[in-house]
Amino acid sequence: MLGAFVTNAGPKAALRPDWTFMRADDFEKDEARLRCAMADLVIVDELVWPTVADALPAGNHWLELEWHQPKDMAGLRTRQSFRQQALTTWSGTVKDATEAGETVNQLLSEEIAWRLNRQHQLRDGVVKMANVKKAHENLAQQIRKLIPAERAAEGERIMEAASVAIPSILDALQDGLASADGEYDTIIDRGLIRQDPAMRRFVALGYQHRMHPSISAFPRETIYGQGALQDAQTVLDETTPKPSDDARQTNWGYRFPDCKSHRSTWIETGVAKVLKGGVNRQEIKAAIEELERFLDWADKPAHRQNDGRPWEVALLSFFVPQVKGLGKALDEIPRLKGTWDEGEKAYKSATWLIRFNTVDSFQGWEADLVLLSMRNVDKTGFMDSPNRLNVASTRGRELLIVLGHRPYFLTCRKSGEPCVALNEFAKRSPLLS
């Protein structure tokens, strides 16, 4: 496979030696244009693109990419996260022009697809957040740059298709599939939210009936906005007068008095290294210690629930490797031996039921006690998605305990903006003494 770089930055030694290197002023010569026309793939530095675009012959893959030289001068990397392996594949194993085109298309498809999915994860919520908006805009810009320049028209069709293929049916009904200034005023185009208020058949959840008020405060005020997710009378503090038939049937007393007023709390686990394979063992150790402490409390006859139900516990994380690590740790707890219930997909006894899962997979479920492992200690990953954080913060009925490096999440930023939801989540979850 023949490749070419067109840039005015960096010496030739910094680029792959088996690819053609050209500067923008080389295009004044016919020889340079001919060499460029023979290449199967041409990567053009964004800074020189306006100068050379008209001189490039049609038919090749022209990529308008910002880029920089890595310190080890080993090859080209881009801010759009093209993998070094991908460039090696293009220049090392691809043998002919047909295979080159197929390889490039596949790699571009993968890079564009995950960005489209990430955009959907960062879709607007009720409360607008600057960092989410900025990240969404950055992704849109990256997608534009990943589409070969001579195929820009296809990019518009990709975005249109993504607006239909990626959202769920509920998302489509809520938001619609057309833009806000769409031609048609139908539910499928406009969504239930954009309709005239008098005709609207979509409303946000007004009241919640299961979470303790100090757990629901964060999603209500940070994600939903003050107009939704209000606490129903059945979940207000026991000191608040209410009809006896509406009283919560629970005698929760675990971690009192530490968690009497703050039922969303945090255990600091320090700057633990995330091991190869994506596991934070320090957080897993802390989660198991807290679980053992709870099981000791729950097994006492005086702490049984009034209605006879077992206490439900969920160990959650945003990341699959961390969940697998939690599962392995649970297998090693002596008292859990032989208690696995395949039907419930949980460890189960007369007094407790323990599940472990990812935050995404636990959507729609709940537990009396939730132990949430953040895993990461120096990057947000996809935890900055308001919808995903909303799910994580609303699974606990009586107590949510977060395990992680709280100082990082108090100040973490992304795309140059504070991660408002994560910052507020850590702020509203005080350290457990």
Mean pLDDT across 255-266: 84
Q: What is the pLDDT of residue 115?
A: 83
- As a whole-number percent, the residues of the chain with pLDDT over 90 amount to 32
Give the highest mean pLDDT range of 22-36, 204-218, 278-292.
Answer: 278-292
Mean pLDDT across 332-338: 96
Local confidence band at 201 (pLDDT 50, 70, 90 cut-offs): low
Six token digits for residue 375: 């895993």
Q: What is the pLDDT of residue 104?
A: 60
Strand runs labelled E in 243-394 = 264-268, 311-317, 340-341, 346-348, 352-358, 367-373
Mean pLDDT across 1-23: 63
Domains of the chain listed by start with CATH number: 1-164 (no CATH), 167-203 (no CATH), 241-427 (3.40.50.300)
Six token digits for residue 400: 């949510």
pLDDT tens digits, residue range 337-364?
999 999 999 999 999 999 999 999 999 9
Q: How many CB atoms lie within 10 A of CB 10?
A: 16
Local confidence band at 62 (pLDDT 50, 70, 90 cut-offs): low
DSSP notation for 296-332: HHHTSGGGS-TT-PPEEEEEEESSHHHHHHHHHHHHT
Q: Is the pLDDT of residue 215 over 50?
A: yes
- More confident of the two residues 263 and 53: 263
* Residues 6 or more apart whose Cβ sits within 8 Å of residue 155: 143, 144, 147
Six token digits for residue 217: 């405060």
Give the highest mean pLDDT range of 34-38, 88-92, 356-360, 385-389.
Answer: 356-360
Q: What is the pLDDT of residue 1?
A: 47
* Residues 6 or more apart whose Cβ sits within 8 Å of residue 171: 123
Local confidence band at 189 (pLDDT 50, 70, 90 cut-offs): low
Q: Is the pLDDT of residue 400 over 50?
A: yes
SS3 call for 416: coil
**For residues 30 and 57, what is the distance between their CA atoms, to the nearest angstrom?**
12
Q: What is the pLDDT of residue 125?
A: 54
pLDDT tens digits, residue range 295-317?
999 999 999 988 889 999 999 99
pLDDT tens digits, residue range 122-144?
765 555 566 677 777 888 877 87
Six token digits for residue 274: 């995330």
Q: Is the pLDDT of residue 66 over 60?
A: no
What is the chain's alpha carbon radius of gyration, rounded to the nearest angstrom? 27
Q: What is the pLDDT of residue 77?
A: 32
| pTM of the entire predicted model | 0.68
Q: Is the pLDDT of residue 61 over 80?
A: no
